[in-house]
Amino acid sequence: MNNNEIAESFSLLAKLMEIHNENSFKAKSYASAAFTIDKLTIQLSETPLEKIVGIKGMGESSGKKVIELLTTGVLKALEEMIAKTPPGVIEMLNIKGIGPKKICTIWKEMEIESIGELLYACKENRLKLYKGFGEKTQQNVTETIEFYLKSQGSFLYAQIEPLQEIIKSFFEKSFPNNTTEFTGTYKRQLEIVNELELIIDTPIQNIETTFLEVEDFELIEKNESDILFGLSVGLKLRVHSVDKNEIIKLAFIKGCSDEFATEFSRQFPAIDYSVCKNEEEIFRQASINFIPNCQREQISTIERAKHNTLPTLIDTSDIKGIIHSHSNWSDGSNTIEEMAQNAIVKGFEYLVISDHSKSAFYANGLQIERLKEQHANIDILNTQLAPFKIFKSIESDILNDGSLDYSNNILATFDMVIASVHSNLKMTEDKAMLRLINAIENPYTTILGHMTGRLLLSRKGYPVDHKRIIDACAANQVVIELNAHPSRLDIDWRHIDYALEKNVLISINPDAHSPKGFDDIRYGTLIAQKAMLTKEQNLSSYGLKELEQYLSNRKRMKNI
């Protein structure tokens, strides 16, 4: 064990002790020892053990721990600290701009345990609400985390989209006489992309020679037909080299799930891919309806295509209003009026303001007096902005027992209530189901927000029985949110088909904390296409009059 490794162990021990608010004197002495060890000109591993304690700047306690490390290979005090600290909290030490004391606040007060959760909190303006965190700190932390995450290798679909355009343009300029096609998980509109795949009709050697000297491309591996590059942004790019008449076939095969591609080949073995000029011609040869890449996941889709029962894909133009948005009354960036004006400019018919409820202290949740003020403000704006309408809503926290955090007479003042879990996320499935089912059965719950609380690439979310939740929503006329934020996309698209089977409405909602957040509707719509959601099955596709009628009918049926 060299001095650098020993110093790192002491430094980590000191930082973890600070995070846990343990003996500050000891923490400082270990930090000082780390500094001393790092500057030594001799290796401690080559120093007689009896002389280590006497090294200037070491101290007796630190000296004994150095001996412990050198003789056993471990530092018991450090192992104990690591064992009681979530891995994601330790990982936060890699983020410049937040030291142990701030990490302690993030973990203990904000209940954030991963870098991804922290980034999401920054995007929702929550960090700056806490003592010691200002606007500038929040922005710096955001930028540092985004840079850090780029090196991890997995990307959200939304992160890949702009990169894909740059790479496509780059290849088209480098190979103007060749055909390039993107395929793989990106083409299938999956929520997470680990590798961007591209097909081109040129030999591998040409590709390698072209990009060998390009600073942003690093060769990882190659064979006769594939070459894998690592890009400077952290993304892996796999390029498939094929003959020109093989492009369509490979694009098709790589642009489906393995299950779909295998079954398609089994059912249609006589397809002559070489004569197909595009993928539409493959389906014409099979004499079935065209299946878009985003729906080439399950075998059952092939049967639906045979019987002409594939629905018309929902599109962003089908979204008529913004349901689920936040203003600066809680943790949003803009006033309600600014949010509304931007929604009008974008052609939406209405805006549902769903700021956080009183239990959400972490997001400046609304106490009852502030609620009354907000509703009065909305009344004035609705007079000024008509025929555009702002709906009075709330994102009400689902408490530990499944109740919502306002009394019924307060809940009755809202046009709609979005019920969501935001705290105590570490639950067993039984506990999670108790909370969610009780919230769904509350007559004032209109929409169940982000069902599992997941944050893609950051937090798995609490375990739930999707079918039981969907059954409960069907029985109680509760809409299920498809949270369109690219880090959420929750409900998972894989469970939407069962919701549609049970006639449960879905609502593609951006969970926007600024007007820019309205654009996230695109990602919710792309993932909804995979689930074959139609505009008729989506609440946010209702026009203003339709939505008003729906809410009125629901309240009458619920007798509220």
Q: Identify the pLDDT of residue 213.
A: 80
**Structural element, H or E, at residue 419:** strand 416-420
C-alpha count within 13 angstroms, C-beta hemisphere, residue 416: 29
SS (H, E, C) 50-113: HHHCCCCCCCHHHHHHHHHHHHHCCCHHHHHHHHCCCHHHHHHHHCCCCCHHHHHHHHHCCCCC
Show the low-confidence residues of the chain (pLDDT under 70). Answer: 150-151
Task: Report yes or no: 103 and 94 within 8 Å, Cβ to Cβ.
Answer: no
Q: Whole-prediction pTM value?
A: 0.81
**Which residues touch 134 (CB under 8 Å, ≥6 apart)?**
128
Q: Identify the pLDDT of residue 386.
A: 97
- Assigned CATH topology for domain 316-558: TIM Barrel (3.20.20)
Q: Identify the pLDDT of residue 284.
A: 96
Task: Report yes or no: 138 and 122 within 8 Å, Cβ to Cβ.
Answer: yes
Structurally, at CATH architecture level, domain 155-306 sits in 2-Layer Sandwich (3.30)
User: Hey, where are the domains in the chain?
Assistant: 3-150, 155-306, 316-558
Q: Identify the pLDDT of residue 173.
A: 94
The owner of tokens 């509304």 is 340
Q: Would you tell me which CATH number, out of the four given (1.10.150.110, 3.90.1150.10, 3.40.50.1820, 1.10.645.10), belongs to the domain 3-150?
A: 1.10.150.110
Q: Identify the pLDDT of residue 135.
A: 87
Q: Identify the pLDDT of residue 151.
A: 59
What residues form DSSP beta bridges with 350?
Answer: 321, 389
392, 398, 403, 407: CA torsion to nearest 10: -30
Q: Identify the pLDDT of residue 157.
A: 95
β-bridge pairing 155-156 and 196-200: unpaired
